[in-house]
Structure 1
Amino acid sequence: MKRRFDEARILMYSHDTFGLGHLRRCRTIAHALVEDYRGLNVLIISGSPIAGAFEYRARVDFVKIPSVIKLRNGEYTSLEKHIDLQDTLTMRQSIIRSTAETFRPDIFIVDKEPLGLRGEVEDTLSYLKTRGTALVLGLREVMDAPQLLEAEWKRADVMRKIGMFYDSIWVYGPPDFYDPLTGLDVPQAVSSKMDFVGFLQRKVPDVQAPDHRPEGNYLLVTTGGGGDGADLVHNVIHAYQSDPDLTHPALIVLGPYMPAKKRRKLMRKSAPISQIRMIEFDNRMEDLIAGASGVVAMGGYNTYCEIMSFDKPALIVPRVAPRQEQLIRAKRASELGLLDMLLPEQAEDPAIMAAKLKELPSRPRPSQSAPNLRLEGLSRISDLVGDWLERSERRHFSVVDGGS
């Protein structure tokens, strides 16, 4: 039976500067929580330019903050070119603080960036801590190469501030897959708060299937947000051009952030190939992955969870710069036999890529290599949230009774 928490509120922060991963992860968690707990309301603060392109369940909403994008060299710039980056960051910080003050959350969940983009959440963390809000940091199971993450965090004294601000750290993966803080000097004040909740299982939404989902068997090629996915799509097209025996139908999803010039070029290039169908974006990727006979992707966190959830053979060609997150995840999953992997330079060879695409549908599914694989993150998070809200409810009644 579902618990009911009247007027309980959870605020989530998703900085969203490059792809869709952070918003999609927050949205998945939010939907699971409102499904489990009646009366609970979740508000997501997001910098994604396309936050409104997704569907949200009742009692889940979002606040849009001005968008900042990450360039391929790792630097940031305002999405609106006529607005100074610092002015944009100041606006974002102000909106985040104001939202927290008005919404008055019981729990504040920060996705991936402990202090927010350029420290924009630190002020809000300080404020919410004074009013007794439970503060949670959610980390992907893989963050980045240890030396890169350590250098990034040292500049802003992040590790110390994590220990100072946060009540709990959720790692969105099992402990035997990867530790996101491996190789770092982790103080007891941080390590004692880490809870490896497990991967976040996905399911097909209860809505009509996308109109462009192909009939029958097809390979799904997805680049996530698509901002740096043009090379993967080009290599898949090149493989089809080079090998007439590669006849398996393919649906390619370019991603909403792929630059228009590259998108048009790839569409022209693929037009003569009858086996390829290409679309720009779909907000129900779960449905497309569930229907595919195999998945070709760069291997971001959400795509990986969907591959595991729907038990699909997969070929991963990971991004290797500026972050090594996808490379580390793909190597580890490949070691465990969960998927196949090509390095970007290998994928450039059309013969190698064509061979991998032809064998993909018959590759073992993840469950065949790891029969005990569990995706229990959402249920574990739900239990943790339920415990917190119950304690908060008891404290509230205790205060009320004591004052009567």
Structure 2
Amino acid sequence: MSLGTMNETHGRAPRILFYSHDTFGLGHLRRSRALASAITQADPRASALILTGSPVAGRFTFPRRVDHVRLPGVTKRADGSYASQTIGMGIEEVTELRSGLIETAVQQFDPDVLIVDKEPTGFRGELLPTLERLEHTQKTRLVLGLRDVLDEPAVLAAEWERKEAIAATERFYDEIWVYGLRSVYDPTEGLPLSAATQARFHWTGYLRRDLGPIGEPPDQPYILITPGGGGDGKAMVNLVLSAYEKDPDLSPRAILVYGPFLSGELRDEFEARVAALNGRVTAVGFESEIETLFAGAAGVVCMGGYNTFCEVLSFDKRAVIVPRTTPRLEQWIRASRAEELGLVRMLDENRDGLTADAMIEAIRNLPHQPVPSQAIRAGLLDGLKYVTHRIDALLGAEPERATG
């Protein structure tokens, strides 16, 4: 029975709800947006709602039949703790507020499937009341979606134990989707998951980026410089600007996308340096349709976030990845594994040094790198297609809570 047929018997179109905690950066929201777009394109009757804490959610365009609800924001401090962005509320109060809003949204929207991004219990456990309610009703199928890399196995195991995430994964979720391939990396290595839970895993492949028609790119050739959301992109942007400042013959020109979280005095400082380069580097602020810039680029210099990596693969671009190594090794693990597979080149702090000369060499070598498609293996970019098939399968079956 297909997704549409099953829901016709219930008298309404399919409803998919995404939970995306988004305490920092853009990754969770952009992943949920790509998944929602694919699901609603696959079934023109389906609708999707994204619950997100991203402070820039309103700057994105969303496909038809996809909408979002903005949860009160929280900020991650340098020491790893969190603070409320809501005036006059402490972190405990704002977590309770978010938890209540989530529970209300789930009751009102009454989704057929709830897809939870990365955090099995939500931010500070805010999802638990909703999961417990859904466990009793057994009307909504529950899916945990994990990116290809989470963190070092030992670090992740300690984090999941502290958050009681293992118990929640075992108890609540009908399926666990990993948006990657096990042959590339297993993000759950080291987690003490039962055999029954491991049997509910689905390795989807990476999520190909295809969010509609591509616009007219800027004058070519150029390389694209993107630090993702930009909040942790200072070192990479500084490195690229230093390379163009040191080598007056470095080409082609670069287009730098700051990201919405790179702002203030640091942004002003970078703007002054860009202006002094007389057009060899140009900069734009937050670009919600960065796909157009990707499509026209001769190459990419970027950080190692999941979404940017998917864009590099999807647009088949030669790329130099400069991964961050704090507060997690996630980006370094992804970039180093991708380099081993011949998909990208990594600029590694310990091996190559993060110097202007190292960046100059990397940019000059970009045209000589193979494009990712020369190394891509079967199924690597099939994630969206796999997910739409799983949605169809979940909604075509009678809800039955998996145990184990």
Q: TM-score, length-normalised on structure 2?
A: 0.93
Question: Among the aligned pairs, what percent are the same residue?
Answer: 42
- Name the SS of the counterpart of 1:225 in structure 2: coil
Q: Per-residue displacement from partner, 1:267-314 (whole Å, max 9, x unpaired)? A: 111211121001111001122111111111111000101110111000
Q: Per-residue displacement from partner, 1:221-277 (whole Å, max 9, x unpaired)? A: 001110010110011000011112202110001110113111111111121112100
- Name the SS of the counterpart of 1:100 in structure 2: helix
Structure 1 pair 371/150, CA: closer, same or farther in 2 (3 Å)? closer
Residue 266 (structure 2) pairs with residue 262 (structure 1): yes
- Name the SS of the counterpart of 1:38 in structure 2: coil
Q: Per-residue displacement from partner, 1:188-212 (whole Å, max 9, x unpaired)? A: 2321111101100112522644xxx
Mapping 1:55-204, distance limit 5 Å: 55-80=61-86, 82-132=88-138, 133-203=140-210
Structure 1 pair 3/94, CA: closer, same or farther in 2 (3 Å)? closer
The equivalent position to 2:46 in structure 1, one of 40, 43, 53, is 40
1:400 matched residue in structure 2: none
Note the C-alpha offset of 1:22: 0.2
Residue 302 (structure 2) pairs with residue 297 (structure 1): yes
Q: Aligned equivalents of 1:129 and 1:186: distance in 2?
A: 20
- Name the SS of the counterpart of 2:62 in structure 1: coil
| 8 Å contact from structure 1 (residues 129, 135) kept in 2 | no
| 8 Å contact from structure 2 (residues 207, 310) kept in 1 | yes
Query: Structure 2: 5+ residue runs without aligned partners?
Result: none
1:350 matched residue in structure 2: 356
Note the C-alpha offset of 1:373: 5.9
Residue 331 (structure 2) pairs with residue 326 (structure 1): yes
RMSD: 1.7
Q: Per-residue displacement from partner, 1:33-87 (whole Å, max 9, x unpaired)? A: 1101122111100000111111111111111110112223322111235431111
Residue 283 (structure 2) pairs with residue 278 (structure 1): yes
| 8 Å contact from structure 1 (residues 235, 347) kept in 2 | no
Note the C-alpha offset of 1:344: 3.9
- Name the SS of the counterpart of 1:57 in structure 2: coil
| 8 Å contact from structure 1 (residues 159, 190) kept in 2 | no
Query: Structure 1: 5+ residue runs without aligned partners?
Result: 396-404
Residue 236 (structure 2) pairs with residue 232 (structure 1): yes
Residue 341 (structure 2) pairs with residue 336 (structure 1): yes
Q: Aligned equivalents of 1:334 and 1:108: distance in 2?
A: 34
Q: Which has the higher contact order (CA 8 A, sep 6+)?
A: 2
Structure 1 pair 366/373, CA: closer, same or farther in 2 (3 Å)? farther
- Name the SS of the counterpart of 1:129 in structure 2: helix
Q: Per-residue displacement from partner, 1:97-131 (whole Å, max 9, x unpaired)? A: 01011111111100001100000001101111222
Instruction: Give the count of matched residue pairs.
Output: 390
Q: TM-score, length-normalised on structure 1?
A: 0.93
2:248 matched residue in structure 1: 244
Q: Aligned equivalents of 1:259 and 1:100: distance in 2?
A: 35
Paired AA for residue 305 in structure 2: G
